[in-house]
Structure 1
Amino acid sequence: MVRSNAIEIIARHLSLNAGRLAALAQRAAEAGELPRACGRAVPDLSPAGLAKLLLCAIADRGLGNAATSVREFAALRNEGGTTLLDLIEGLMSGAVSVAGVHSLIAQLDPAAVTVVTDGGRLSYGPEREQSAASRIITVPGAALRAIIAEFRGNALHPAPPLASVAARISATAHTKAA
């Protein structure tokens, strides 16, 4: 899958601005973290590339920090020594099942991630701080599954974002009232 299509899918499911994610991805590509287009040749992203693109979206600490954030989060390790990139790449490729994932919780500074699954919690990096000042990003398991399903071409009819559903319901209600 080419980067622009992957950006659209991630942005839609995580309710992010696609332009912002494209800018983050471009910065990561310029630093060698994602493949770059060469002329008209646009490379497909591998599972590792898709994983790094997802990390761009989750670990947004500013455009100037995009590549550093991807590298730092990708290198986070759990107690068994597995990196966060290994896990997300496994989810993208199908080597690891995404079915039991409830959520991915990322603390931006210091970098730390907890993946909540049916079987418990997988912690990557230092233990997450519990202070109110910590900036935390939570990715629901349903959103992660939807992203991965579309990456694999399995989503025939992706669900529209909740905001657009609410707008259609509101527009229908106003039409019926008139």
Structure 2
Amino acid sequence: MLGNIGTFLSSGENIAFFVFALMAIGGAIFMISFDKVVHMVCALALTFISMAGLYVILDAEFVAFVQILIYAGAITILMIFGIMMTKHQGEEAEPKRPVHNVLLIIGSLALFGVLFYAIQNVTFPSGEFKAAEDNTMEIGKLLFNQHVIPFELMSVLLTVAFIGAIVVAKREED
């Protein structure tokens, strides 16, 4: 069983996958466990950036670029600005719950054990994946030919949401 781990870690691509996956999981865990909201957003940005690394490993460079540009850049900055521009009341600290933390650790280890066992005993089909020569061109063709209506509806939805956010913000000032 441990021989499979040795063969898995013999490739640099697999090691990079393992590092990016651990960073994504770690960022997600930090995001839900930090107390300060700005620290939570920074942990979320780490998760977004590590997801972009996973996309690069999958030869989806365009998706990785968009992940960094939109999520790690724009969404994270938007969240930080939203936090800084809103008023916060004094937040009460939650009481420490040691039993809850012990159960959380036991459940996490049990889930890890089940997933580890399942991954070690599965047989993956062998075969070669033939990626397109230019991923960005293929995404553009699909987006503007086959999926143009949902793309335009999404842009209208985002514009309406942006205008609604401005209206709500103006009402709060008055």
TM-score over 0.5 (shorter chain): no
Q: Normalized per residue, which structure has more strand? A: 1
Larger Rg: 2
Which one has more relative contact order, counting CA pairs under 8 Å at least 6 apart? Answer: 1
Q: Normalized per residue, which structure has more helix? A: 2
**What TM-score results when the alignment is normalised by the length of structure 1?**
0.22
